[in-house]
Chain A
């Protein structure tokens, strides 16, 4: 699992009514990615 995104930098955009940014970021870190930016937006 840790190597799936090893060496990758990711930018995370979450949705208030979908999956929030911090939740996606936690998954990406668990998969070995370096999270360089996290944002959650509200589209309504």
Chain B
């Protein structure tokens, strides 16, 4: 049976300052104090060029390696990169005007009305993008008079869409009595669909794979598309695949809070190994709810609001190609229901058990990727440095196993860990932002292996007090060495 490999990865960001007000925390604050909160929020938003030049964002799309952040003085938002680029090795940072057009392109139910003057501008912006210039951009034409947009906003529960400080359109609710189809939910779902599609397009380009060759799509976004009878029913995987021309693919949505991407990858690995599918794409779009989640902390510290981007991820899992890093299916770590909730129990389940099964020491793993939230976003809001906490815990396990001395923990963290660089988009920081970097570093021979560890907060759904976690391990593919040896023999 073919061992699964990670053949390609893509990462995108979308700069959406006009949507920060619709994040869960900002929208609640604005409802409580409409004038003051909105004014404060708008005064702390970044322009697009600042989001592009922000060092962690450049790491996310692959133009910088994670370790390079150790050499950039903090705060990083005060040290923009002079040579930053919109496009990166793994994707891009899309501006809002193109994304508004992409949302309209992704809209199959006329949920979005664009204002008559804004529509051609947004159409023109999207037309300049290589992925969408050949799409049916006629959907974006035919704007609506502003008075009709205002009437919908004032009387029908539609929400305004903002661009450069003015209303550029609106999004409607699609049922008078169904809160799962109200404008805010549909906006959230449409943003996940459009950003997921952008990530998938980059993945197909990176893998040089025709869209029709994808067989299965697994969506791991954090939205909950559905209706009043089937809240969170799904359908996002196929919606994204349809937008990207994956006409031969089927698909479904995988839900597991922040650890969703790892479950989706695990299913992809297993289905490829079992020969049920040969090419599986895992895709995750961005989370509108988490925009501006820590904005009060940022504002209090006089910082720009750093949670102004949606994230998107996509991965292509195939059978062994003799080149891409192999996934060790005997190295899957899982947090059992009966494992207990202490940090030590969780880390033992996710790190030690799979390493023991593979006969490896903690220090034999070149790099650990844990939850990779950008600490500049979280520390300023009192939420701590999540990656550092997790790396210290793994280092502490290495001390308990007598692999390193207690005084070596900081060196262990520096050598086997990395600074967080991911936007706080829930499922997006879940270890996998390092997967593209790891795959390429292993292919270049700079490292041999890496372990990916993510955690999920099941208790947030109020159905259990449990948390969750999953881990997997990839290593250098010996395929080329084998073929070289056999060639020499021949």
Contact A40–B465 (Cβ < 8 Å): yes
Contact A16:B465 (CB < 8 A) given known A22-B341, A44-B373, A44-B378:
no
Q: How far is the CB of B268 from chain A (nearest CB, A)?
A: 25
**Across-interface contacts of A40 in B (CB, < 8 A):** 341, 457, 459, 465, 467
Inter-chain CA distance A22–B258, complex, in Å, is 20
Q: Is B371 an interface residue (CB 8 A)?
A: yes
Give the residues from 1 to 44 in chain A that come closer than 8 angstroms, CB to CB, to chain B: 15-23, 38, 40, 42-44
Contact B342–A20 (Cβ < 8 Å): yes
User: What interface size band does chain B fall in?
Assistant: 20 to 34
| One of B6-14, B207-215, B271-279, B383-391 contacting the partner | B383-391
Contact B459–A44 (Cβ < 8 Å): no
**Across-interface contacts of A18 in B (CB, < 8 A):** 343, 384, 389
Q: Is B476 an interface residue (CB 8 A)?
A: no
- A21: contacting residue among B371, B382, B390, B465, CB under 8 A: B465
Contact A43:B384 (CB < 8 A) given known A16-B457, A17-B390, A20-B342:
yes
Nearest A residue to B343, CB-CB: A19
Q: Is B455 an interface residue (CB 8 A)?
A: yes
**Across-interface contacts of A17 in B (CB, < 8 A):** 371, 384, 386, 389-390, 455
Give the residues from 373 to 415 in chain B that come closer than 8 angstroms, CB to CB, to chain A: 373, 378, 382-384, 386, 389-390
Inter-chain CA distance A40–B383, complex, in Å, is 14
Q: How far is the CB of B191 from chain A (nearest CB, A)?
A: 20
**Across-interface contacts of A23 in B (CB, < 8 A):** 340-343
Nearest A residue to B382, CB-CB: A43
**Across-interface contacts of B424 in A (CB, < 8 A):** 44
Inter-chain CA distance A19–B384, complex, in Å, is 13
Contact B383–A44 (Cβ < 8 Å): yes
- The CB with the most chain B CB atoms within 10 A, among A18, A38, A44, is that of A44
**Across-interface contacts of B455 in A (CB, < 8 A):** 16-17
Contact B371–A44 (Cβ < 8 Å): yes
Interface string of B316-351 (1 = CB under 8 A from A): 000000000000000000000000111100000000
Contact A38–B465 (Cβ < 8 Å): yes
**Across-interface contacts of B72 in A (CB, < 8 A):** none
- The CB with the most chain A CB atoms within 10 A, among B341, B378, B386, is that of B341
Q: Is B460 an interface residue (CB 8 A)?
A: yes
- A16: contacting residue among B426, B429, B467, CB under 8 A: B467
Inter-chain CA distance A5–B12, complex, in Å, is 51
Nearest B residue to A23, CB-CB: B342
Contact A22–B386 (Cβ < 8 Å): no
Q: How far is the CB of A40 from chain B (nearest CB, A)?
A: 5
Q: How far is the CB of B102 from chain A (nearest CB, A)?
A: 27
**Across-interface contacts of B382 in A (CB, < 8 A):** 43
- B341: contacting residue among A20, A42, A43, CB under 8 A: A20
Q: How far is the CB of B249 from chain A (nearest CB, A)?
A: 32
**Across-interface contacts of B378 in A (CB, < 8 A):** 43-44
Q: How far is the CB of B346 from chain A (nearest CB, A)?
A: 8
**Across-interface contacts of B384 in A (CB, < 8 A):** 15, 17-18, 43
- B457: contacting residue among A19, A38, A42, CB under 8 A: A42
**Across-interface contacts of A22 in B (CB, < 8 A):** 341, 465
Contact B467–A44 (Cβ < 8 Å): no
Inter-chain CA distance A43–B429, complex, in Å, is 13
Inter-chain CA distance A21–B343, complex, in Å, is 11
**Across-interface contacts of A16 in B (CB, < 8 A):** 455, 457, 459, 467
Q: How far is the CB of A16 from chain B (nearest CB, A)?
A: 5
Inter-chain CA distance A13–B34, complex, in Å, is 30
**Across-interface contacts of A44 in B (CB, < 8 A):** 371, 373, 378, 383, 386, 424, 426, 429
Interface string of B358-374 (1 = CB under 8 A from A): 00000000000001010
Interface string of B83-103 (1 = CB under 8 A from A): 000000000000000000000
Interface string of B118-162 (1 = CB under 8 A from A): 000000000000000000000000000000000000000000000
Residues of chain A whose beta carbon lies under 8 Å from any beta carbon of chain B: 15-23, 38, 40, 42-44
Known: A21-B341, A44-B429. 12 other contacts (CB 8 A): A15-B384, A17-B384, A18-B343, A18-B389, A19-B343, A20-B343, A23-B342, A40-B457, A40-B467, A43-B378, A44-B373, A44-B378
A–B complex contacts, Cβ < 8 Å, 30 sampled: A15-B384, A16-B457, A16-B459, A17-B371, A17-B384, A17-B386, A17-B389, A17-B390, A18-B384, A18-B389, A19-B343, A20-B341, A21-B341, A22-B341, A22-B465, A23-B340, A23-B341, A23-B342, A38-B465, A40-B341, A40-B457, A40-B459, A40-B465, A40-B467, A42-B457, A43-B383, A44-B371, A44-B383, A44-B424, A44-B429
